[in-house]
């Protein structure tokens, strides 16, 4: 039996989606109907599932969603043209290009083409720069969702020792910036970190986003720590697991996110939040 409190991302995300739906209804009364365009290049099965989930979440919240499916052989200049058209489309407030893109397309070029005010993923260099200076325009959805989870659990961030395992542009780095902005002392670890457990075992807040299943175990965690597992990995038995070994970790942590049902649902909830925020700014 787990000792740790389970942080229910599914319930919290549903609460946020209800709030989004009421904001959408209010915006429509003011003459603005929020719209999100999702661009999918190729037929990666995992990406197709994500895109379907995003579209159905939009529908449930009353957000107009447009899914643009392009073949895998689409050329970079063709994709750039699609982005330009969406930038100029007044009924689209948010643009999301599903990553990863096929190898022949430079993702950075595509992200830079998105109007920063429609960049609901928060990946455009303007948005990254604003986040770095503590004045965010669009916050990346997954780290934003993690901050909402910490807030909902009333986790004290100010003065806390926060350790992030994984230094990606999508999760690790923006996660560090959001925690810093709230007064945490932040350490970022990566695959080259020596003696990883020396860092993880002093974390009051531990965020793991490596894409390596069960990498962090209970003996690497400070008793009572809040553990946020961003990873989602499909094992050979077809079961999903995180980057944290849940059984051992949940015996030591004070609170922990499950996989599935933890951070995953929050990412989509924050995508909807960002889309509504983008729509509000057009008023």
Mention every residue, 6+ apart, whose C-beta is less than 8 A from residue 96: 36, 37, 38, 39, 54, 120, 121, 271
What separation in angstroms does the CA of 201 have from each of 174, 212, 272? 22, 18, 35
| Residues identified as active-site | 54, 98, 121
Distance of alpha carbon 231 from its chain centroid, rounded? 11
If we measure between CA atoms, which residue out of 239, 281, 279, 278 comes closest to residue 139?
278
What is the C-alpha end-to-end distance of the chain, expressed in Å? Answer: 51
Place of tokens 């999702």: 38
């Amino acid at each position: 039996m787990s000792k740790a409190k389970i942080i229910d991302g599914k319930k919290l995300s549903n609460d946020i989606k209800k709030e989004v739906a009421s904001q959408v209804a209010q915006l429509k009364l003011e003459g603005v109907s929020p719209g999100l365009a999702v661009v999918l290049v190729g037929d990666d099965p995992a990406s197709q599932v994500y895109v379907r989930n995003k579209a159905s979440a939009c529908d449930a919240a009353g957000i107009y969603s447009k899914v643009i499916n392009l073949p895998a052989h689409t050329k970079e200049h063709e994709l750039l043209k699609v982005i330009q058209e969406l930038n100029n489309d007044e009924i689209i407030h948010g643009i999301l290009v599903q990553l990863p893109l096929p190898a022949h397309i430079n993702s950075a070029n595509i992200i830079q083409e998105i109007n920063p005010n429609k960049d609901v993923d928060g990946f455009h260099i303007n948005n990254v720069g604003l986040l770095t200076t503590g004045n965010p325009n669009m916050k990346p959805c997954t780290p934003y969702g993690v901050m909402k989870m910490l807030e909902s659990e009333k986790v004290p961030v100010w003065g806390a020792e926060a350790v992030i395992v994984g230094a990606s542009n999508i999760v690790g780095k923006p996660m560090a910036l959001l925690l810093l902005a709230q007064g945490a002392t932040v350490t970022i670890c990566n695959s080259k970190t020596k003696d990883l457990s020396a860092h993880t075992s002093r974390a009051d807040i531990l965020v793991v986003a490596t894409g390596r299943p069960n990498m962090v175990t209970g003996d690497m965690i400070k008793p009572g720590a809040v553990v946020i597992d961003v990873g989602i990995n499909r094992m050979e038995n077809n079961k999903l697991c995180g980057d944290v070994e849940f059984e051992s970790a949940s015996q030591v942590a004070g609170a922990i996110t499950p996989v599935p049902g933890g951070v995953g649902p929050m990412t989509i909830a924050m995508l909807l939040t960002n889309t509504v925020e983008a729509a509000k700014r057009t008023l």
